[in-house]
Amino acid sequence: MLQSPRQRRKDARPQELLDAALDLFVEKGFAATRAEEVAARAGVSKGTLYLYYPSKEELLKAVIRQHLGSEIAAGAEDVARHEGSAAQLLSELIVQWWLAVVESPASGVFKLIITEVRNFPEIAEFYVREVVEPGQRLIGQVLRRGIAHGEFREVDVDATVFSLVLPMIMLCLHKHSLAACTITGPDAPCPPAAPPLEPENFIRHHFDLVLRGLLAQPRADHADAASAVPATRTSRAQS
């Protein structure tokens, strides 16, 4: 049965609200953004916004869940199905996922969290529960699999997870801070831009460094895992 234009518009409305919210939260900050601004950017009334999301906090939680939480859950399914090497699996999780995140609006979520959660403990708790803990478990699972199979050397798994992830988060922060400073001159809104940083090269180089340190016996097929990853992939984070 074909949907009417009105029904299609109604079905698309939650996504439109989430897109508007993320744009404004990153531009202005969570605390400084008013609910009516989100509604106006999405082309609806504030009352309509509250029909879908009863508070600004719930709206931010939905943004986090959609752009990061759901992607981690999808990654867990990929890990459960994977039957190849741990190095290749880690490459798919780290390289492909971060390539997709950095090139999508999801990259703004990290700036939002870093700058805002100290003043919003409920959001901080939600982020840890929805993103940090499952993400750490997922990558840790792959590392332990590689260690158990003799593919990776014995390492501190928790420290290695942070070594893999934190530079990628800094890449996202860079995109929405120094890298955004493209205007120069006395009226520039921020200091001159830092030297250019090419995200894909950084991600691949960083992963290659860590992977070579993980491998128990470096081999060509393992060392090439990062370079073998396609340049892009279709991701739910980009939809």
Burial bucket for residue 115 (CB in 10 Å: 0-12, 13-18, 19+): middle
Instruction: Write down the pTM of the prediction.
Output: 0.79
The C-alpha atoms of residue 49 and residue 69 are separated, in whole angstroms, by 22
Query: Which residue segments constitute the domains of the chain, with CATH numbers given?
Result: 1-54 (1.10.10.60), 65-238 (1.10.357)
The C-alpha atoms of residue 178 and residue 192 are separated, in whole angstroms, by 8
Burial bucket for residue 221 (CB in 10 Å: 0-12, 13-18, 19+): exposed
How many Cβ atoms sit within 10 Å of the Cβ of residue 88?
A: 17
Q: Tell me: the pLDDT tens digits for 9-51?
A: 556 688 999 999 999 998 888 999 999 999 999 999 999 999 9
**Secondary structure of residue 152 in the 3-state scheme:** strand
Q: Tell me: the pLDDT tens digits for 50-103?
A: 999 999 999 999 999 998 998 899 899 999 999 889 999 999 889 888 988 888
The C-alpha atoms of residue 238 and residue 217 are separated, in whole angstroms, by 36
215 strand-pairing partners: 152
Mean pLDDT of 121-131: 94
Under 8 Å CB-to-CB from 143, ≥6 apart: which residues? Answer: 86, 90, 152, 155, 157, 160, 161, 214
Q: Tell me: the pLDDT tens digits for 162-208?
A: 999 999 999 998 888 877 775 555 555 555 555 667 888 999 999 99
Rg (C-alpha) for the chain, rounded Å, is 20
Residue 38: predicted pLDDT: 95
Residues above pLDDT 90, as percent of the chain = 54
Residue 8: predicted pLDDT: 45
The C-alpha atoms of residue 172 and residue 106 are separated, in whole angstroms, by 9
Under 8 Å CB-to-CB from 62, ≥6 apart: which residues? Answer: 14, 18, 21, 53
Residue 153: predicted pLDDT: 95
**Secondary structure of residue 215 in the 3-state scheme:** strand
